Chains A and B, each alone.
Chain A
Amino acid sequence: MGESSLPTAAQIPGAVAALDSPKLHGNELAQYVAWLLFANSDAETAPLFDALQGKGAMAFSDSGKSALLDHLLSRVIAPQADLRTNRSMR
């Protein structure tokens, strides 16, 4: 809520810093991170992407990891499935 008043790209450093903190994170940050990844360009999300490829992915609790995967996969796979469905219906 503290960052939500900022433009989405400006919220990325805060999320990266959170992933670098020693505490584990849960579902809320997972959803927030997934949203930031899809709401911004590749160039803008590069630091967040890099953090997730490093130890940032381990900054989530087990349920947080599941939530992150769910949010990412639902946005990656669901549109493709919709596309396939639409194509097959033609």
Chain B
Amino acid sequence: MNRKRLAPFACLLAYVLGPPLGAENRTPYSTGVNLRRSILLCEFESAAVTADAGPGQLYQTVAARVRVSRVLKDADAAGLTPGFYDVTIPRSYHVPGIPQYPAWMDRDLKPGLVYMVFSDAKGDIHKAIEEPMSVELLTDKVDTVGDVELG
């Protein structure tokens, strides 16, 4: 694509479409349907904080029961299958020097919410859910599943 041709288009989109770049409610975009090793559709059945972050506890942990209703991608043919899974989600904060698991950070984990989970965990569906590369909350208004199936 010719960058000179696209520059005014992008500026026009920025002007017409908004919200402005840097808006606080901007959703981080996907890390890529093609790049991720697995893509799951996960509905939270239950979730409860089991430990808060604090001295000696690097992560807040959330024990959750998740229903995987669809496996949209299993690139490694690892046999990821729909079903119910009990997981422990580590939610870290921005503390230098410790591994960050930002995908679930600040995400609502209320029962009934459905997320598309993009992961690179190979063969371990628990790991795929607990430490994904990114997640996206599904709503009735946006055809996220259709978008993923297309791309």
Contacts and interface: CB of A to CB of B under 8 A. Distances in A.
Contact of A31 (B7, B21, B32, B141): B32
B1 interface: yes
B91 interface: no
The residue in B3, B26, B150 that gathers the most chain A C-beta atoms within 10 A of its C-beta is B150
B115 to A, nearest CB: 13
A70 B33 contact: no
Nearest to A15: B150
Interface residues of B, number: 38
The residue in B14, B28, B32, B146 that gathers the most chain A C-beta atoms within 10 A of its C-beta is B146
Interface in B109-151: 136, 141-144, 146-151
Nearest to A80: B3
Contacts, number: 131
A27 B148 contact: no
A72 B9 contact: yes
Contacts of B3: 75-76, 79-80
B98 interface: no
Nearest to A44: B1
B147 A49 contact: no
Interface string A36-76: 01111110010001001100010011111111111111011
A27 B33 CA distance: 10
Interface string B23-55: 101111110111000000000000000000000
7 contacts: A18-B147, A27-B136, A29-B151, A32-B151, A42-B5, A64-B142, A66-B27
Given A1-B73, A71-B29, 19 more contacts: A1-B34, A1-B72, A3-B150, A3-B151, A4-B151, A15-B150, A28-B136, A28-B144, A32-B147, A41-B1, A66-B26, A66-B27, A68-B17, A69-B10, A69-B13, A72-B9, A76-B7, A79-B3, A80-B3
